[in-house]
Amino acid sequence: MARSCPALISLVHVQHPRQHHWWLAEDGFPQRIAGLLGAPLCDHHRPARQLHELLQVFAPLPPLGSAEANPDGVLASYRYLIQLRPHGAALSCWRRYPEGLGWQRRCGPMPLDAFVERFSVRAA
């Protein structure tokens, strides 16, 4: 039986004091996040790269701290940090293994485009 693999996603912008955090209850694997980030936005027909565009991508997810976000107190299996800087966005990813090894870096910080390319599921 597959576990739900929840993820915590954070978005920070170096020029804005507000941070954004979302809870993804299942399928928090890098391939899913790459799919979300690589999907073209309906109004732009290109992937999200700016703050307001990334907020659109994650808008369907419950914000961390809301009643819908992790009501059972489940520990996240993945942790993503997206940092928006003047020269572009970077993503870092960590994974918590059930054996109690703590958080292990999976990747990053790496350019957002490189993350999407590396973890996107390619059609056979």
- Condensed to tens digits (0 to 9), the pLDDT of residues 91-110 reads 999 999 877 778 999 998 99
Pseudo-torsion of CA 112, 118, 123, 124, nearest 10°?
Answer: 170
Nearest CA to 58 among 92, 114, 112, 9? 9
Structure-block tokens of residue 93:
């990813």
Model pTM greater than 0.75?
Answer: yes
- pLDDT tens digits along 5-47: 999 999 999 888 889 999 999 999 999 999 999 887 766 667 7
